[in-house]
Structure formats: structure tokens, C-alpha cells
Structure 1
Amino acid sequence: MQVTRLLAVRHGETAWNADGRIQGHLDIPLNEQGLWQAGRAGAALADESIGAIYASDLQRAWQTAQAIAQAQPQPPIVQADVRLRERAFGEFEGRSFAQIETELPEDARRWRQRDPEFTPPGGGESLIQFRERVVPAAAELAARHPGQLVLLVAHGGVMDLLYRAATAQELQAPRSWQLGNATVNRLLWTPQGFSLVGWNDDAHLQQGTVLDESTS
């Protein structure tokens, strides 16, 4: 049985990351720091033989994936997959954390407590719905490339779900792991599931500040 090796990279920083605003499905580009981070991630992975690249179609992930692809000796085509999008946050999107606490206190409480069935008002996804979208999609993409190295470029929430899948963490378990912008996470996939190799490698970003924020 051949194992698929996975690189999972969160997008670089955006202005909304820096401001603490929820992005969800809103399409916010990388800021100057994020573009630098994406370039550094590309340089860090330039010697890796990446066989395929899949990215969320939201431009903050797409820009990051393109920067990594262009650093490869033979750049793979980046393939968009909407299933790798961030969690949909409905009316939370565009608001800051402080605004949500003030304007929607009961929703904020359920969100903070990681209620798996809580659905943000206005078309958001519950954690259960989000996991049912992301984890099978990542497994399907990995299964296409046995024996190869595959890059997935997505969002903090997606990285969180992959970590939980690889370490058998429940959805409601408090997060004790980092989800930095443009950090490199390494996993393995077999038909039995995901396993963890390394997490939140940010050695290539030591010249800049890396935000750890999981809802972008």
C-alpha cells in the first residue's frame, strides 16, 4: 500500500487577519506581509517534489498556492477546489471578534464553546457540516496521488480539521496547536485515514510576525 504525503499550508496574512475580522467565504486578498509569507513558503518548499497542488478558490489561498507553485522547478498547475474553503460564518463575516461578542453574545458563547451543532446565523456552517465537507475532500484528493507529495493550500479552519482528523481530536476539544499564516504542516494519508508528521513549521518566516488565528 502506497502512502500519500501531504503538505497542508494555510494562506498568508490578509488585512482582515491583522484586524481580527472574520473572513469566512468573503474573498479577501493577501496584504503585503501575506505576499511576503507566500513567497517565503515557496522558497522553503522549492526543493520538494510536489506532484499536485490543490487550493481553495478564495484568492488568499489561491495567491499563496500560486507563489508556492511558481517556486517549483517544474511548476504544477494549481487546481481550485471549493471544498477547501474556510467555514462559512454567515452574519459573523466582516465583523471583528469584539463586535460579535457585543452584538451576538449568545452566538459568541456557543462559538467559543465549540458547540459542534452551532450554526452561525445567516447561512453559516456548523462544525459538523464543515468537517463533513473538508475531511472527505482532503482524503479524496490524497487518494488520487498514491506515493506522491500533494500540497493543499487552504485556511485556518481547514488546517484545524486536518489536525483533528490526524490526531483523533474531537470537534469540541479546545485547540492547543498553532495555525500560523503560511506555515507548513505535514501529514500522511492511507485508506485508514490521516496521521501527523509535523505541524506549524514556521522556520522560513522568522523575519516576520506570524498571526495565529483559526477562523480565516
Structure 2
Amino acid sequence: MTKTSISTLRHARTTYNAEKRYAGSIDVPLSEQGRREAEEAATKMKGLRYDAIVTSRLRRARDTAQCFLTEGMPFVQTRLCNERCFGIMEGLTWDDVQTLDPPVLMISVGGDLHTVNPLHGEPFEEVWERARRFRRLLFRRFPGQKVLVISHGVFLQMFHGVLRGSNCIESLALFPANLELRRFEFSGEHLIEESAVKLSDVNEVAW
């Protein structure tokens, strides 16, 4: 049976992260701190070997990926793993969102609040469906390979849920931190192992 490894990494920090602003489809760059942290993470991960890196088309993911690329490594960019579009909320802080009228509906999952219906925003169901299409893309293009996916918080929530076999709402339970690394191992397309590595806790990791 073909063994495929899919690792995911949320992009490094931006000024929007520091200000607790919703970026979504806004193409914000990494902050200087974020770039330094991405370079440090790449150093810690130098013992890892990937056959390809796949990112969204947003700059913060692409710039993070540049720290991990090695000569000749395939580098694929796709809108399928872009961040959720937050519509009217984009560019606003969490406090700003509380003042919107009409208010944005929120649900509590995993001990956190999640915005359901921002005006002109992308519903969670559509992000989840993109994640399903992205999963199919990876297994079609990279069977038996080790792939590093660099993407965004909400998209990775949905994608992780898809990999685990969770539904859309269940997928909201865990939100990845910046530069949080998670690995999913498959036999064929059956998930056999999931593991997480906190890069802040290691000097160098190898799989």
C-alpha cells in the first residue's frame, strides 16, 4: 500500500496577527519578526526531507515557504488552500467586529467563538469543500511522497478536519498557531497516524 505523508504549517506572523486583525483574502506580507521566526523554524526543520511544498497564492504563505525551499524542490501554489474570505470583517480587529450592525452570528466550538455569516464572507461549508478538493489534488499529484503544505489558520482547520474525517463544524475545534507543524501519515488514503511538533521545544527534528 502506498504511504503518503502530508505535513501542514501555518504561515509565520504578520502585523495583522500582532494587531488581531482579520486578514483573510487581504495579501498582507510577513512582519520582520515573522520572517525571522520562519527562518528559525526552517533551521530547526533542516533534518526533515520533503518531496514538494504546496502553498496558497497569498504572499504570507509564499514568503514563509521560501525559507523552506531547497534547490530543485517542486513548489506548487494553488488558490484551493487560500485563507477564508472574511468579507466585511477583513482588516477589522476582533473588537471592531463586535460593533458591526447587523451583528455577525457566532457559534462556540472547541472553547472558541467562530464567525458564521460575515457580509460578503465565505461560508465555512465552502472552505470545507475547498479543503476536500485540495485533499484530492494532493493524493492525485503526490502519491507516496512527503508533502509540506503551508497555508492559513481557518483553511487548515477545515483541511485537518477533512484529513481526520470530521465534518465542517467539528473541524473548527482546533486552531493552529503560526508555524505550528502537524503531520498526517496515510496508507493509501487511510489516515494511520497524526502527530504535532512544537518547533519552540526542539533544536532540530528529523522524520
Shorter-chain TM-score: which interval? Answer: 0.7 to 0.9
1:202 and 2:198 aligned: yes
Change (3 A) 1:9 1:61: same
2:66 corresponds to: 66
1:108-123 map, 5 Å = 108-109=105-106, 114=114, 118-122=116-120
Give the letter aligned to residue 155 of structure 1. Answer: H
In structure 2, the residue corresponding to 1:68 is in which secondary structure? coil
Give the letter aligned to residue 176 of structure 2. Answer: L
1:1-216 map, 5 Å = 1-69=1-69, 72=70, 74-104=71-101, 106-109=103-106, 114=114, 118-122=116-120, 124-173=121-170, 175-189=172-186, 192=189, 194=191, 196-199=193-196, 201-204=197-200
Q: CA RMSD in A?
A: 2.6
Give the letter aligned to residue 154 of structure 1. Answer: S
Q: For residues 29-60 of structure 1, what are the alpha-carbon distances to aligned partners after superposition, in whole Å with 9 as ceiling and x for unaligned?
A: 00122102211221122222211111111110
Contact kept in structure 2, 1:166 and 1:195, CA below 8 Å: no
TM-score, scaled relative to structure 2:
0.84
Q: Unaligned stretches of 5+ in structure 1?
A: 208-216
Contact kept in structure 2, 1:6 and 1:142, CA below 8 Å: no
Change (3 A) 1:161 1:195: farther
CA distance in 2, matches of 1:138, 1:37: 28
In structure 1, the residue corresponding to 2:106 is in which secondary structure? helix
Change (3 A) 1:181 1:114: closer
Contact kept in structure 2, 1:37 and 1:205, CA below 8 Å: no
**Could you tell which deviates more after superposition, 170-179 or 8-17?**
170-179
Give the letter aligned to residue 118 of structure 2. Answer: P
Percent of paired sites with the same residue:
25
Structure 1 runs (4+) deviating above 6 angstroms are none
Give the aligned length: 200
Contact kept in structure 2, 1:41 and 1:183, CA below 8 Å: no
Change (3 A) 1:27 1:188: same
Give the letter aligned to residue 98 of structure 1. Answer: D
**Could you tell which deviates more after superposition, 21-30 or 184-193?**
184-193
Contact kept in structure 1, 2:105 and 2:117, CA below 8 Å: no
CA distance in 1, matches of 2:171, 2:144: 33
Change (3 A) 1:190 1:126: farther
Q: For residues 57-116 of structure 1, what are the alpha-carbon distances to aligned partners after superposition, in whole Å with 9 as ceiling and x for unaligned?
A: 1110000011111xx4x451422111110001111100111111112463143587658x
Contact kept in structure 2, 1:24 and 1:89, CA below 8 Å: yes
Contact kept in structure 2, 1:189 and 1:195, CA below 8 Å: yes
**Could you tell which deviates more after superposition, 184-193 or 128-137?**
184-193
Give the letter aligned to residue 119 of structure 2. Answer: P
